[in-house]
Each structure stands twice: as structure tokens, then as C-alpha cells.
Amino acid sequence: DAKTTQPTSMDCAEGRAANLPCNHSTISGNEYVYWYRQIHSQGPQYIIHGLKNNETNEMASLIITEDRKSSTLILPHATLRDTAVYYCIVRKGYGNKLVFGAGTILRVKS
Amino acid sequence: DARVTQTPRHKVTEMGQEVTMRCQPILGHNTVFWYRQTMMQGLELLAYFRNRAPLDDSGMPKDRFSAEMPDATLATLKIQPSEPRDSAVYFCASAPPSGGTYNEQFFGPGTRLTVL
């Protein structure tokens, strides 16, 4: 599975959009981009995933560049409860294990 | 609200003792994962099962760790003998069968293990 690079930490004001970048320049054609987050003292939680097209669900939007070498997770209106570590993971499809990196610590501040 | 459950939530034990952690996957899920999280190493996959058969345990120290699924509703992770370096949070996750190319993993709350 391709490796990912994320900033160590980011701050965001409550109510503003949080944009979390991820580089995955070695991604191959059949690999998906997944985002999970881990709120303090809890297990990781799935957020969203995508292959080529931009995706949106009730939690977030995922923007993948045309060359697929990078992506951005967008939390449209961050709240204090969105403070967490966000993991960008590149993985082939069904059944394969998730390899977690260090992730990005997002701090949402009032 | 279906959830992965793990017991115990906290365990303090002395070096050399056997530790057993249990996981109940979400009903109907056929893939179960065991992860370990420490400050130094982050989240690491130890082993995973599909339809109760082990698929990959390459992340698990073989000499002291063992993982099993006695039935579809129970997964166990044992450490014998335990060592202080095993102190960590152990997460279990389960995933449903998928007809496509994607399956979300649902994580339990974890077992916080402290080995003195």
C-alpha cells in the first residue's frame, strides 16, 4: 500500500471549515483513499473514502486531485467535538488491513 | 446501535502473568482485527481473521501472543507471559462482508493494559 504524508498538527476555529491535506504521490490505480479519526481515549472511527471522484457524506467531504497524488478532507463547520487525530490511509479495496501513520492532530478552538 | 464490545476495559497485571482480552464483534461481521496502540509506535495491526480463520498474524510476537476466534461472536487475544513492554491499548475492530471493494472497520473502545 502507498505511503501517506500528513502535517503533524493543525488548528481550526470553531464554526470554520477544517481542511486537512494528505499527500500520497505513490498511489496506484486500484488504491483507495480512506480517512479515519480518533478522538481521545476512543477507538478510531471511519469518516469517508474515495477512489477518484470527490465524495461527500454527513460528516465530511473528500477532495482528490485529478492525478490522485493528494487529497483534502474537509469538515465544513468544525466543532470542539471534532478535535481528534485524523488518519489518511491508502489501501487497496476489500479486505486488506489498514496501516495507520502518525496522522494529523486537529485542534478546534473556540 | 450495534457496537464492538471489548472486555476488560482496563487491566493491571504483574509481569509474567497471563492476560486474556476478549472482543465481541458486531453481529454479522465476518472479519475481526486486533490492533495495539502505544505512544511510541502508534496504531499497529497485530492479527486479523475472516470467517474465524486467521489471515495475517505477522504483526504479532509469536512467542508470547496468541489470537483465536472460538466462535463467530468471540475473539480472544492472549499474552503469556506478559511483560512491561506489552503495556498498551489493544483495540478490536470488525468489518462486515462486502460484495464490493470496500469495507469499513468498526472499532471497539479498547482494553488498556498495564503490566507492572
Report pLDDT digits (tens) over B88-101.
Answer: 999 999 998 875 55
- Chain B residue numbers with beta carbons less than 8 Å from the beta carbon of A97 are 33, 45, 48, 56
Of the listed ranges B9-13, B55-59, B76-80, the least confidently predicted one is B55-59
Span A48-76, mean pLDDT? 95
Q: Which chain B residue has its CA at the smallest distance from A39's CA? A: B109
Which pLDDT belongs to residue A95? 58
Confidence band (pLDDT; 50, 70, 90) for A2?
confident
Which among B89, B97, B50, B52 has a CA at the least distance from the CA of B70? Answer: B52
What is the structure's pLDDT at B99?
56
Residue A96 — very low, low, confident or very high, per pLDDT cuts 50/70/90?
low
**Nearest-angstrom CA–CA distance, A56 and B38:** 32
Grid cell of A38 as nine digits:
480518533
> Who has greater pLDDT, B42 or A97?
B42
Q: Given this model, what pLDDT does residue B91 score?
A: 98
Tell me the three state secondary structure of residue B13.
strand
Q: Which residue has the cell 471493494?
A: B101
A92 and A2 Cβ atoms separated by less than 8 Å: no
Cβ contacts of B91 on chain A, cutoff 8 Å:
43-44
- Phi, psi at residue B72, to the nearest 5°? -70, -15
Residue B55 scores a pLDDT above 80:
yes
Rounded percentage of chain B residues whose pLDDT exceeds 70: 96
A&B contacts, CB < 8 Å: 51
Q: Do A101 and B42 touch (CB under 8 A)?
A: yes
What pLDDT does A59 receive?
94
Q: Which residues of B touch A42 (CB under 8 A)?
A: 107, 109-110
Strands B111-115 and B106-107: unpaired
In this complex, the residue of A94, A97, A98 whose CB is nearest that of residue B102 is A94
Phi then psi for A28, rounded to 5 degrees? Answer: -105, 170
